[in-house]
Chains A and B, each alone.
Chain A
Amino acid sequence: EVRLLESGGGLIQPGGSLRLSCAASGFTFSSYAMSWVRQAPGKGLEWVSVITVSGSRTHYADSVKGRFTISRDNSKNTLNLQLNSLRVEDTAVYYCAKHDSSSYFYVLDQWGQGVLVTVSS
């Protein structure tokens, strides 16, 4: 059974930093691209970032480019998201999601339960 378990969320002041992690199990983590998707309270889904299997290719939504950094550790089956210069509008549940391919980003076939990040003073 595929499992994706996010951690690292919490309450942080504007301008602060936070590191989210996603522990993967039940599949060969090193064979699949991974994404982060977020959902602000009462709003729709917003894709944040994607990383290929080796980490050689990463892409970001314009709203987080230059502030967030995605990375992965295939030896530990872990996906990370470093959030810097946080803004109130970054408040959201952040989901870790698995793509169905190593380097194509068409499909997100498995999702974690999400972790809440609240940016507030």
Chain B
Amino acid sequence: SYVLTQPPSVSVAPGKTATITCGGSDFRGKSFQWYQQRPGQAPMLVIYYDTARPSGIPERFSGSKSGNTATLTISRVEAADEADYYCQVWESSGNQDVVFGGGTKLTVL
């Protein structure tokens, strides 16, 4: 089955920029989503279709994709951004699985 690889942890100082990567193979036709999960809460969509932001998500959150890596960038990081972040794709041309990356714990120093 399809595998998405994320770094287990990323640390950043407040006000700086955090970059969380998601690697895989054969990105053709795949759109990436990113979810934020704060401790004790349900996941929340922060980026969809690689670069789009749902209403209510700050412009500080942005997504990109290049080669075999998708990236979530959080600018001007705040303490409230400390959370687990998951990338996700849908195997539309394969077995129709929804696939999540292993998650990245973002720590705000």
CA A109 to CA B31, docked complex, whole Å = 14
| Interface contact A105-B96, CB-CB below 8 Å | yes
A11 contacts chain B at the CB level, 8 A cutoff: no
CA A114 to CA B40, docked complex, whole Å = 10
| Interface contact B100-A47, CB-CB below 8 Å | yes
| Contact flag A107-B33 (CB < 8 Å), given A44-B102, A46-B100, A59-B95 | yes
Residues in A with CB closer than 8 Å to B95 are 59
Q: Quick one: which of A61, A104, A105, A111 contacts B43, CB cutoff 8 A?
A: A111
| Interface contact B42-A112, CB-CB below 8 Å | yes
| Interface contact A95-B42, CB-CB below 8 Å | yes
CA A114 to CA B43, docked complex, whole Å = 10
| Contact flag A95-B100 (CB < 8 Å), given A104-B92, A106-B31, A107-B48 | no
| Contact flag A108-B42 (CB < 8 Å), given A44-B103, A45-B35 | no
Residues in A with CB closer than 8 Å to B86 are 44-45
Within 8 A of A (CB), among B56-99: 84, 86, 88-90, 92, 95-99
Closest to B47 in A: A107
Residues in A with CB closer than 8 Å to B49 are 106-107
Residues in B with CB closer than 8 Å to A61 are 97
What is A's interface to B at a CB cutoff of 8 Å? 35, 37, 44-47, 50, 59, 61-62, 95, 97, 100, 104-114
